[in-house]
Amino acid sequence: MPAEAGALSAAAAVREPAAVPAGDAPQHEPLAPARPVAALPAELAQLVAGRAADVDAGLREPRAALERLARVGLLTLGLEGAAAGTLADQFAVISALGERCMATAFSAWGHRIALEYLAGRPELAQLAPLARIGSSAMASGFKAAVGLGPAPVRLRDGRAGRFVLDGRIPWASNLHPDALVVLAAEREDGALTAVAVDVAAAGVTVRPARGLLALDATASGQLELDGVSVSPETLLDEPFPAFAARVRPAFLLLQSAFCSGLARASLAAGEPALQGLGAEFASDHADASERLAAIEERATALAGEEGPLRAFVRLRLDVALLARDAVRIESAVAGGRGYVASSPTARRLREAAFLPVQSPTEGQLRWELRRGA
């Protein structure tokens, strides 16, 4: 880890107050942090916040901010073999990003979880400093692993000891031209395996998704694979059940981070309006604030232990529902000014609309809990 990263990581040991663009700053002290773990240095917090409106409009990409974060070691916290930080620290960083711009936090999550998949492999030499970007396309594989349908990508034997991929990933993000995508494919014997695929490889086609709510700048879309030749070295040799057991807790925990950041931002923005008619929502706001504190305590505890998967699934569902409720409260107390499409309130409404459909969807999370995940 570079010296600059160490200095910034140490300086960030106490959470920075929210840095927000003019017109979005609450006229009160921000909500107190739930835990003293690493967050964003002030300069990076201001950078992300200042670009949030342009990212929301699709005029800027989150990648420039991610590159700054990577240079100071804030996208490898808690990664196996990394020089510094814990998974709780990484949760705090992604949560702090989510307070300011959920699209940036989502892209950071996609890159960071790709690093988690590839822990200990040589690909990290390029991905960790973000010389190229990582993309997670594992949702379909995880669904297949829990019995929610077949994997949409097939892996078959090719020539000269190589393998061939065919199929379609319906949704992935960070699909930049230099991206390394990690996906799950079904072998000819029916077993799943994780594979690292270069987006620039012959036979790979990206179909960009357009007109998304709040996520147009995240390079999201479909990934089509038609006779893509890959070497044996690109296959992760870890049996897929063991792979899923290793990475899914971090997958869910770090998704929960940007949900918590969005909830915190909405609660902070709505708090000054809890007067007049807004006072009708004071008890709802207080309840949501208590839920946020409890959820962040649970997240910190889970980040430091090998808890049952069910606890991570429950956390992810609870915090997504909390973010929905927090944004609803903010919208209700903001009134007409929050209905303006360019307002931060409207942006957070668009951001929150993604959470029930992001994989694992709200329906899948409920299904897994009912099944006893």
Name residues of the chain where pLDDT drops below 70: 1-38, 83, 373
Choose the final residue of a domain: 199, 234, 269: 234
Indicate which CATH number applies to the domain containing 290. Answer: 1.20.140.10
Distance CA 128, CA 79 (A): 10
Token pair, residue 58, equals 């699709």
Residue 283 lies in a domain: yes
CB 328 within 8 A of CB 346: no
Looking at the structure, tell me whether residues 361 and 267 fall in a common domain: yes
Largest CA distance in the chain: 74
Element (H, E) at 181: strand 180-186
Flag whether 10 is in a domain.
no
Q: What is the pLDDT of residue 372?
A: 80
Which of 112, 127, 142 delimits the end of a domain?
127
**Would you give the distance in Å from CA 207 to the centre of its chain?**
21
Residue 1 within any structural domain of the chain: no
Q: Domain containing 165: what range? A: 134-234
Task: Specify whether 227 is located in the same domain as 263.
Answer: no
Which residue, among 184, 235, 228, has the nearest Cα to 204 in the 3D structure? 228
Q: Give the pLDDT confidence score for residue 37 in this predicted structure.
A: 39
In a domain, 5, yes or no: no
Q: Provide the number of structural domains found in the chain.
A: 3
350 and 263 in one domain?
yes
Same domain, yes or no: 22 and 141: no
Beta bridge partners of 230: 163
Residues 192 and 292 reside in one and the same domain: no
Q: Looking at the structure, do residues 224 and 145 belong to the same domain, yes or no? A: yes
**Model-wide pTM > 0.75:** yes
Q: Looking at residue 24, what is its pLDDT?
A: 38
Indicate the burial class of 258 (C-beta count within 10 angstroms; 0-12, 13-18, 19 or more).
Answer: buried
Which own/partner pairs from 21-25 qualify as long-range (CB within 8 Å, at least 24 positions apart)? 21/49, 21/50, 21/52, 21/53, 21/344, 23/344, 24/49, 24/269, 24/344
The CATH code of the domain that includes 210 is: 2.40.110.10
One domain for residues 123 and 73: yes
What CA–CA distance (Å, rounded) separates 98 from 106?
Answer: 8
Nearest by Cα to 295 from 312, 318, 313: 318
DSSP summary character for residue 204:
E
- What CA–CA distances, in Å, run from 124 to 133, 134, 207? 10, 10, 26
- Does residue 207 sit within a domain? yes
Query: Are residue 247 and residue 363 in the same domain, yes or no?
Result: yes
In a domain, 4, yes or no: no
Give 298-301's long-range contacts (Cβ < 8 A, gap of 24+).
Answer: 299/88, 299/91, 299/253, 299/256, 299/257, 299/260, 300/34, 300/35, 300/37, 300/88, 300/91
